[in-house]
């Protein structure tokens, strides 16, 4: 992201796709505070899914950033 000239503060939308919503919510405080400290105030959506493209993956994050 920084290679394209963006920072976390430029993120306006985050979509989270997770295979375990409860585990994700338990970890959310840790990365949520990091995003907040970086000035990220993105709208977000959390979707529980049965699996992702590769079975070993637990979380997929889609971010949209604008300048």
Predicted TM-score of the model (pTM): 0.86
9-67: pLDDT as tens digits: 999 999 999 999 999 999 998 888 999 999 999 999 999 999 999 999 999 999 999 98
pLDDT the model gives residue 66: 95
Residue ranges of domains in the chain, CATH in brackets: 2-65 (3.30.1330.40)
For residues 12 and 67, the answer to whether their CB atoms sit within 8 Å is no
What CA–CA distances, in Å, run from 4 to 10, 15, 53? 11, 20, 26
């Amino acid at each position: 992201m920084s290679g394209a000239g963006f920072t976390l503060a430029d993120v306006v939308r985050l979509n989270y796709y997770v295979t375990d919503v409860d585990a994700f919510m338990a970890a959310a405080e840790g990365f949520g505070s990091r995003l907040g400290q970086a000035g990220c105030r993105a709208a977000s959506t959390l979707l529980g899914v049965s699996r992702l493209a590769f079975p070993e993956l637990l979380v997929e994050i889609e971010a949209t950033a604008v300048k």
